[in-house]
Structures are given as C-alpha cells and as structure tokens.
Amino acid sequence: MTAPLAGIRVLEVGTMLAGPYATLMLADLGAEVIKIEPPAGDISRQVGDSYFASLNRSKRSVRLDLNDRAGQEALGALAAASDALLVNLKPSAIHRLGLTYDALRRWNERLVCVAITGFGLDAGDHPAFDYVIQAATGVAALTGDPAGPPTLPGYSAADNSTGLTAALGLLAQIVSGRGGQVEVSLRDVMLSQLNYHASAYLNAGAEPQRRPFGAHSYYVPAQLFPTADGYLALFITHDGFWKSFAGETGIEGFTTMTERSARRADVLDVVTTALAGDTAHSWEKRLRPLGVPAAAVRTLPDALKLAPDAVVTAGDYRLIGSPIRIGGYRPGYGPPPRLGEYSDSPAE
C-alpha cells in the first residue's frame, strides 16, 4: 500500500522535542521530512545519539544558516517545492528568521506554516519548556499526593501532546487546499487537555482537587491501590464494571455510580481492604477476563517485554514505532540523518 502521506514534503525547523515529534509522526506515515538544522546542528544531537534517533528517524538533514542571505535563499527554494513548514522556536526567532506564512508566501502561496511556541506567536519569548508549562497551566498542581508537593509525570507530556496537535493542524490546513499560518502553543494544548476540570470550574466554580493515588474526580473507584505486592490501577466507570469487580472481590453494596461517588471514602476503604488480599499482578489476571479495567503498575522495561510489536529497528537503533496502525500499510523506518547529509541538492 502506498504510504498515506506519500508525496507530502514537510520542512522542519525544530529543536529538542515538540517540533521533531510532530514531524516524526508525519514521516512514519510516509511524508518526506527535511530537517533544516543550523551549522552546529539541532541541540538535541548533544543530548545523545539515541535521544536524537527517537525523534528524527526517517528524516533528511539540510544544514543552513538562516541568519545569512544564502541560507534564506535556500530556505525559499525549499519552501517553493514543499507543502508545509513546521517550526518550534521562540516567537522572536520565528519572525526574525522569516519562518512565517507572511514571509514565505512569495515563494509558495499554498505553503502551510505551523508555529509551535510556548504561549503564542505574538505573545513574547517567555521561557516555555515542557515542565515549565506543566507548572504554569495547573497540571503539576493536580499531580502527586495531596500531602506532598506538586509533581511531574516524568516524561515530556506537554511537548509530546503539542507535537501531536501541531501535526493535526498541519494536516488539516493541507487538506483545506489553502496555504496559511497555523499556531499551536504548549499553554493552549495543556489547558485543552484539562477539559473536564476546566469545564467544572468555569461553569460551576468547582476547583480541581489533587487526590491520593491519582484518583479520578468523578469515577469511584478509579485510581491506584496498594496490594499485597505492588500497586494496581483500577478504573471503574460504570455499574457493569462494578458488578463484575464486586463479585470477584466479595464486596457488597455501592451498586450505582451515584452512590459510589457520594460515598467515596467508604468505597475506597472497602476496595483497599479487599485488594490487600492479593498481589497486583494476580488481581490483573483475575479481573481482566471479567472485563474490569485493571493493570498492575509496571516499569517501562516490563511493559516493553509485553509489547514486542511496539519496538522497531531504524538503522542502528531500536525504537518505539508509530502508534498509528493503518490496514495494508507498514512504515519503513529509516535511520536518523547525519547532519547536513541532504545539503548537496536540498531543493530537488
């Protein structure tokens, strides 16, 4: 099967994670991604080879100095022969380097320009790294035990989410058949992902609460629970799940979602007591056949052992493959590019 995005050429002026992750998703679906790097290369090359490979497989690299005339002319030539340009830099740098639709439309009226920033293309250069955004938008305040400090999830949730959103915006504008400017900010993406929390506050004044074991605001029981060995994630969202769970654990009562929500503390007490009678992995084996959403808390190495199909080879690297499965299509994962390896004839 022809790759879904075959024939689409995307230019990337991206650093570290959000931008490169967006174009990685597109490259996995068959888009030709040309990574435009400064003379010293994307700073993520300095983090480590495997880090760089995880975000830049299957791309081509062009080394351009966009601060000089020759670099700008080369950028224009590439833009003339491309469908989109995606950039994540400070807003001042995006404007100064001419990486907007207004600056590039003279080369290609149909070019889609996507700008990933912290707070907006015209909102200034406030520092906007992933963890800073999680703190600034209320995500960190919702995470962790109420008796302890706010915390972070341990991976780049804001950058990854923004990359996916930017890829969606880029494709939406290409499908429209029109060139133009698309903006995606880390702040807006993370506020959007707090959807039902924000709605509860904006419409009823209910402020989000940080709950023990990451408990859900509405569903009970839906959180982590200690067991005889390890922790179990349980996510019971309706009465059918509860009936199956209660039958396996011997718990009586609390048959409706309304009652379980109203008597949260009582429900959590009986569930915690019941789950203490077996291990997390044993509970998972007992509950899953019943259709009850439950999983033992695993480390990444343990999770990868159970998902060998998620691991692919790209050049010399073993990486996590595309999460998008399309019938009849299997991505071909190429190695990450050497710096400037495509610079000899970038506009071809």
Summarize the confidence of residues 113-118 as an average pLDDT. Answer: 98
Same domain? For 68 and 186 the reply is yes
Give the separation between CA 185 and CA 118, rounded to whole angstroms: 5
Same domain? For 133 and 252 the reply is no
pLDDT of residue 168 exceeding 80: yes
Work out the angle at residue 118's Cα, subtended by the Cα atoms of residues 168 and 115, and round it to the nearest 5 degrees: 45
Give the separation between CA 40 and CA 57, rounded to whole angstroms: 19
User: Domain for residue 338, yes or no?
Assistant: no
Same domain? For 178 and 125 the reply is yes
State residue 14's pLDDT score. Answer: 87
pLDDT > 70 in the chain, percent: 99
User: Domain for residue 130, yes or no?
Assistant: yes
State residue 343's pLDDT score. Answer: 74
Summarize the confidence of residues 100-125 as an average pLDDT. Answer: 96
| DSSP structural state of residue 295 | E
Q: Which of 28, 83, 130, 159 is catalytic?
A: 159
Average pLDDT, the chain: 96
Same domain? For 13 and 117 the reply is yes
Residue 159 annotated among the catalytic residues of the structure? yes
Summarize the confidence of residues 224-240 as an average pLDDT. Answer: 97
pLDDT of residue 348 exceeding 90: no
User: Domain for residue 45, yes or no?
Assistant: yes
State residue 108's pLDDT score. Answer: 98
pLDDT of residue 320 exceeding 90: yes
User: Domain for residue 39, yes or no?
Assistant: yes
Question: What pTM was estimated for this model as a whole?
Answer: 0.94
User: Domain for residue 306, yes or no?
Assistant: no
Same domain? For 109 and 188 the reply is yes
Q: Is the dihedral of CA 218, 158, 35, 86 positive or negative?
A: positive
Least trusted range by pLDDT, from 56-60, 123-127, 290-294: 123-127
Same domain? For 50 and 172 the reply is yes
Q: Answer whether 182's CB lies under 8 Å from 120's CB.
A: no
State residue 269's pLDDT score. Answer: 98
Domain extent for 247: 212-226+231-296
Summarize the confidence of residues 263-285 as an average pLDDT. Answer: 98
pLDDT of residue 346 exceeding 90: no
Same domain? For 248 and 292 the reply is yes
For residue 135, give the CATH number of its domain.
3.40.50.10540
- Residue 104, SS3 per DSSP: helix
Same domain? For 89 and 115 the reply is yes
User: Domain for residue 75, yes or no?
Assistant: yes
User: Domain for residue 74, yes or no?
Assistant: yes
User: Domain for residue 334, yes or no?
Assistant: no
pLDDT digits (tens, 9 = 90+) for 19-76: 999 999 999 999 999 999 999 999 999 999 999 999 999 999 999 999 999 999 999 9
State residue 345's pLDDT score. Answer: 55
State residue 344's pLDDT score. Answer: 54
Same domain? For 278 and 134 the reply is no
For residue 246, give the CATH number of its domain.
3.30.1540.10
Residues in the chain: 348
Same domain? For 14 and 135 the reply is yes
State residue 127's pLDDT score. Answer: 84
In this prediction, residue 347 has a pLDDT band, given cuts at 50, 70 and 90, of low
Number of domains, the chain? 2
Name the residue with tokens 């990450």.
336
| DSSP structural state of residue 218 | S
Give the separation between CA 216 and CA 173, rounded to whole angstroms: 35
Same domain? For 87 and 143 the reply is yes
Q: Answer whether 279's CB lies under 8 Å from 298's CB.
A: no
Label residue 108 exposed, middle or buried (CB < 10 Å: 0-12, 13-18, 19+): buried
Same domain? For 73 and 136 the reply is yes
Give the separation between CA 242 and CA 222, rounded to whole angstroms: 11
